[in-house]
Amino acid sequence: MAQEALSWNSGRERWQRLVNEVEVPPARSQTTAPAPVACVARLVWEVDGPELVETEAIGWTPAAVLVRVYDRRWRLGGAWVPVSDVRRRNTG
């Protein structure tokens, strides 16, 4: 049996804003690594409140970090959050 194709906004009733999301920094100030960096990010949801999420940092500036966000409440694959809301995760 074939699976029904969902539209890009099929889960919109679950979407929430990230209260601690910051504006995307200018491209010239962004740095990326050859590989993602394991981290723990504090995400503050509009309805559900704060939570700590094990994720990866994929870009940063002195003031903000781009972290991957794989959550049904978020329609994008990542979000920029303040550097104070992210810490490296020890993977070894």
Is 72 a domain residue? yes
Is 47 a domain residue? yes
Is 27 a domain residue? yes
Task: For tokens 């995400």, name the residue.
Answer: 43
Domain count, the chain: 1
The pLDDT of residue 33: 79
How many angstroms separate the CA atoms of 79 and 86, rounded? 12
Render pLDDT for 18-34 as a digit per residue (tens, 0 to 9). Answer: 999 999 999 999 999 78
Is 10 a domain residue? no
How many angstroms separate the CA atoms of 76 and 26, rounded? 19
Is 4 a domain residue? no
Provide the domain limits for residue 77.
15-87
Is 76 a domain residue? yes
The ranges of the chain with pLDDT < 70 are: 1-13, 92
